Structure 1
Amino acid sequence: MTRGFMFIFAASLLIMHLDCCSASFIGICYGRNADDLPTPDKVAQLVQLQQIKYVRIYDSNIQVLKAFANSGVELMIGISNLDLLPFSQFQSNVDTWLRNSILPYYPATKITYITVGAEVTESPNSVSSLVVPAMNNVLTALKKAGLHKKIKVSSTHSLGVLSRSFPPSAGAFNSSHAHFLKPLLEFLAENQSPFMIDIYPYYAYRDSSNKVSLDYALFESSSEVIDPNTGLLYMNIFDAQIDAVYYALMTLNFTTIKVMVTETGWPSKGSPKETAATPDNAQTYNTNLIRHTINNTGTPAKPDQELDIYIFSLFNENRKPGLESERNWGLFYPNQTSVYNLDFTGRGTADTTTEVNNGTRTNGTITWCIASSTASQIDMQNAIDWACGSSGNVDCTAIQPSQPCFEPDNLISHASYAFNSYYQQNGASDVACSFGGTAVIVDKDPSMFITTLH
């Protein structure tokens, strides 16, 4: 095994360490309905610096797909409502799209989901009847390419797809959507695809503040809401809305379909009447959401059930119509400065020194400590023994046999894990990355340049 190849694995260990054992994940929605957004290449770098591993886009833009190549970020791509008609009518249209817009960039760009239509029940045009035929054609195209087991097909929905969401156990789908929901759910169950829902507690509070408290919407409530039918206790409306979807699925005897949240978030600014749209509330909601998700506690009706979530959105989008809040859901302004601080690891909000991709940002510079390509194996092993022993006090359990970060089983990978752990635990100072000359500090994401080291 060459040193360059081993360094690739070492870099992967550094980046994967924080979430190698987690089940649920947090992603981000990357909408582009705005002026002066950074180029897709810069967006891909920003996403990686924020430790975001999952991104939803709303089309199959070629520049975006190219930008995320070899980044390790998994993409959910979209087929718009405008394309439902041609995609549902002719298989050849879908085959051509897949051949021209997806296959040239896959698998360098990791694509794991394709959403066919978005919130079609909210569309002014009657396009819902086109969704399942289009989904079937997309699945057929993926089967021809041998990708149907690697890329899942689904469609996203607003909470308006339900006729009732409270109490959660009374959750039910709107009967007016039955004509397309039954075949849709049959498709999802047969292909083990998730039911995708957009959940916005902000709107529940804004439109019914006399019934929904702000604390209950922000995961800050100190009192429970009881479902009278089940006796289950709810500390936040997010869980209640998710369980309402699960109960609606169970009512129709679809008990194997998992729920995925494809949009949720909180605006940082609104019109004068939208008093809850503030940076503080947005930070509180998303911080609590992340912590709630990565703890893998599930919901009262589905305890310990994996729940994957995409936060809306990466940028403020100034071209979106409607109230002021519609243009202010972003975590970042178009110039890439933060609207408010948010830590995707769930450990707290970012400050002047935060861990990024298991590296450390100090005064704007991000650094990692990895094994040197010039170190001898004997010196490197001695340094590992020191770091993982009583002197270094690094917990090296994860790189032991059968543990999550044992693979790849080679010295340079294990050394990079131990060195970087010690470095981060000890203030990321120069002296914390010496190890007798067997380690080096780098100030670029190792995954971006490590293949050039020999």
Structure 2
Amino acid sequence: MGRRFRLIFATSQLLMLLDLCRGSTIGICYGRNADDLPTADKVAQLVQLHNIKYLRIYDSNIQVLKAFANTGVELIIGIPNSDLLPFSQFQSNADTWLKNSILPYYPTTKITYITVGAEATESSSNVTALVVPAMQNIFTALRKVGLHKRIKVSTTHSLGVLSRSFPPSAGAFSSNYASFLKPLLIFLAENQSPFMINIYPYYAYRDSPNNVSLDYALFESSSEVIDPNTGLLYTSMFDAQIDALYFALMALNFRTIKIMVTETGWPSKGSAKETAATPDNAQIYNTNLIRHVINNTGTPAKPGEELDVYIFSLFNENRKPGLDSERNWGLFYPDETSVYNLDFTGRGSVDVITGANITSSNGTTWCIASSNASDMDLKNALDWACGPGNVDCSAIQPSQPCYEPDTLVSHASFAFNSYYQQNSATDVACSFGGAGLKVDKNPSYDKCIYMTAGSNKTATSNATAISSHSSSQAGEVHILALSYTIMPFFLLFILITGNV
């Protein structure tokens, strides 16, 4: 009994340590205001394929909660503004919702935050007075079942809660929302919940292009904006807006509240007057954002400060009203193909390894499966490549030239390379959520021929099947590379062996 207790204690200590040391994280918002999206089960497969570990949804949809069971993906779930009235009026409503909508799926489905209302200050109906009472009732319901420390309660805001955001050191909350914000901030501080903000430099540029440079909005500025009060230098609007919030919180003596960005991003298409809404700009913004976040850069006022950020959004949503940009924030089309290439590792390249049979002398590269990838990651990636990825996987079927050796790594390597070559042999097309690796030595063997860029053939029973007249199949890359820092599981061994 004592050994078992010490093992459990060591494991819990490790999990606490990992949580404290995990660093900044990138998540994705999964909006569903569309009539052409994949089923929740297919979305869960797509999310796992790309190693997305953090996801925000805007309600407590049962199909979504079921689909993400046993995936390890951490969910932020939402209570919409339309439900605030019953939750704020009666504790029993919050208790019943928790019992029926959360507890049947938790902890198999990992839920880490509940957002009570969304951008209440922007709502056409006056719901701000309902937010904090509803939050308190949800918190009480969680406390009754012992989950109030595992699932944090907060609400999301637009930058409109600030009356001033420039210079950042002059950041201040609007006095119009004082009666709403004061009890809210007290609640967040007492329960160690984050202040959740939706930040969109895109809108600042679109609405005021004469005052905001595109480079500044895209993290690309070569010049610096100086805060005259602090002397701090800013090269991106994102950082300036985050620091304006920090200073606004500090002005009210709420120095311990952390900030979480629950939405940010850039649209890939817009109306005629939205000239900055392009795939290139969307790719630039999100690439620079990811690199900025996962490097734990922090902001000028808070260097090295951890900041969790959620990119909006997973899919284009065709039912959203407004200008064209409103329907084009997605990283994926509804058919699960990428809108544009995006490297979620923040490194900008894929490591090249050696170890195959034939060295290329003309710069040709191939893509194979990493032997360090887990079986689950390889299986998910293989299933995707042979399905939505449109790879011809007949060569790895029984009795075909690439079936032997009958291993997951071998079969995945063949499928990964076929996808890689069909999609212009770009680095991101070999990512597979970190499970793919580029090599400069031909992995072909016996009669199993790995295709190269420009070839429309896969393996056949004849080693000369890839001919010189093969047509090019360059196409849009459909892989979104998602990779997070490897968790130090070796610490578990140290803790167990050192304490047991």
- TM bin, normalised by shorter chain, reads 0.7 to 0.9
- Does the Cα contact within 8 Å between 1:115 and 1:155 map onto a contact in 2? yes
- Taking only the aligned residue pairs, the percentage that are identical comes to 77
Paired letter, 2:122: E
Aligned to 2:126: 126
| CA distance in 2: counterparts of 1:81 and 1:45, whole angstroms | 30
- Does the Cα contact within 8 Å between 2:56 and 2:310 map onto a contact in 1? yes
Output one character per residue of 1:163-190: Cα deviation in whole Å (capped at 9) or x when no partner: 0100000000000000010000000000
- Does the Cα contact within 8 Å between 1:164 and 1:173 map onto a contact in 2? yes
Aligned to 1:214: 214
Q: What is the Cα deviation at residue 345 of structure 1? A: 1.4
| Equivalence map 1:402-441=2 (5 Å) | 424=437
What TM-score do you get using the length of structure 2 for normalisation?
0.68
| CA distance in 2: counterparts of 1:61 and 1:427, whole angstroms | 46
- Does the Cα contact within 8 Å between 1:197 and 1:260 map onto a contact in 2? yes
- Does the Cα contact within 8 Å between 1:52 and 1:344 map onto a contact in 2? no
Aligned to 1:66: 66
Aligned to 1:149: 149
Q: What is the Cα deviation at residue 45 of structure 1? A: 0.8
Output the aligned Cα RMSD: 2.7
Residues 428/340 of structure 1: CA separation in 2 closer, same or farther (3 Å cut): farther
- Does the Cα contact within 8 Å between 1:159 and 1:198 map onto a contact in 2? yes
- Does the Cα contact within 8 Å between 2:163 and 2:171 map onto a contact in 1? yes
Which blocks of at least 5 consecutive residues in structure 1 are unaligned? Answer: 1-18, 367-420, 433-454
Number of residue-to-residue matches in the alignment: 361
Q: What is the Cα deviation at residue 337 of structure 1? A: 1.0
Residues 422/26 of structure 1: CA separation in 2 closer, same or farther (3 Å cut): closer
Paired letter, 1:109: T
Larger radius of gyration: 2
Q: What is the Cα deviation at residue 364 of structure 1? A: 3.6
Aligned to 2:164: 164
Aligned to 1:43: 43
Aligned to 2:240: 240
| Equivalence map 1:78-117=2 (5 Å) | 78-117=78-117
Q: What is the Cα deviation at residue 347 of structure 1? A: 2.1
Q: What is the Cα deviation at residue 348 of structure 1? A: 2.4
Residues 353/212 of structure 1: CA separation in 2 closer, same or farther (3 Å cut): farther
What TM-score do you get using the length of structure 1 for normalisation?
0.75
| Equivalence map 1:22-421=2 (5 Å) | 22-348=22-348, 353=367, 358=373, 364=385
| CA distance in 2: counterparts of 1:422 and 1:200, whole angstroms | 32
Q: What is the Cα deviation at residue 431 of structure 1? A: 9.2
Residues 53/427 of structure 1: CA separation in 2 closer, same or farther (3 Å cut): farther
- Does the Cα contact within 8 Å between 1:25 and 1:307 map onto a contact in 2? yes
- Does the Cα contact within 8 Å between 1:219 and 1:235 map onto a contact in 2? yes
Q: What is the Cα deviation at residue 88 of structure 1? A: 0.1
Residues 229/82 of structure 1: CA separation in 2 closer, same or farther (3 Å cut): same
Q: What is the Cα deviation at residue 51 of structure 1? A: 1.5
- Does the Cα contact within 8 Å between 1:352 and 1:364 map onto a contact in 2? no
| CA distance in 1: counterparts of 2:250 and 2:283, whole angstroms | 34
| CA distance in 2: counterparts of 1:262 and 1:60, whole angstroms | 17
Paired letter, 2:258: K
Secondary structure of the 1:35 match is coil
| CA distance in 1: counterparts of 2:435 and 2:32, whole angstroms | 40
Paired letter, 1:146: G
Secondary structure of the 1:157 match is strand
Q: What is the Cα deviation at residue 343 of structure 1? A: 1.9
| Structure 1 ranges of 4+ moved more than 3 A | 19-22, 349-366, 421-432
- Does the Cα contact within 8 Å between 1:261 and 1:310 map onto a contact in 2? yes
Secondary structure of the 1:38 match is coil
- Does the Cα contact within 8 Å between 2:366 and 2:438 map onto a contact in 1? no
| CA distance in 1: counterparts of 2:329 and 2:164, whole angstroms | 26
| CA distance in 1: counterparts of 2:184 and 2:278, whole angstroms | 37
Paired letter, 2:109: T
Residues 81/63 of structure 1: CA separation in 2 closer, same or farther (3 Å cut): same
| CA distance in 1: counterparts of 2:442 and 2:156, whole angstroms | 47
- Does the Cα contact within 8 Å between 1:342 and 1:349 map onto a contact in 2? no
- Does the Cα contact within 8 Å between 1:113 and 1:154 map onto a contact in 2? yes
Residues 355/343 of structure 1: CA separation in 2 closer, same or farther (3 Å cut): farther
Residues 345/428 of structure 1: CA separation in 2 closer, same or farther (3 Å cut): farther
Output one character per residue of 1:80-138: Cα deviation in whole Å (capped at 9) or x when no partner: 00000000000111111000000000000000000000000000111000000000000
Residues 276/95 of structure 1: CA separation in 2 closer, same or farther (3 Å cut): same
Q: What is the Cα deviation at residue 161 of structure 1? A: 0.5
Paired letter, 1:274: E
Q: What is the Cα deviation at residue 21 of structure 1? A: 6.3
Residues 184/203 of structure 1: CA separation in 2 closer, same or farther (3 Å cut): same
- Does the Cα contact within 8 Å between 1:142 and 1:148 map onto a contact in 2? yes
Residues 132/364 of structure 1: CA separation in 2 closer, same or farther (3 Å cut): same
Q: What is the Cα deviation at residue 349 of structure 1? A: 7.4
Secondary structure of the 1:112 match is strand
Paired letter, 2:329: W
Residues 97/177 of structure 1: CA separation in 2 closer, same or farther (3 Å cut): same
- Does the Cα contact within 8 Å between 1:287 and 1:349 map onto a contact in 2? no
Paired letter, 2:191: N
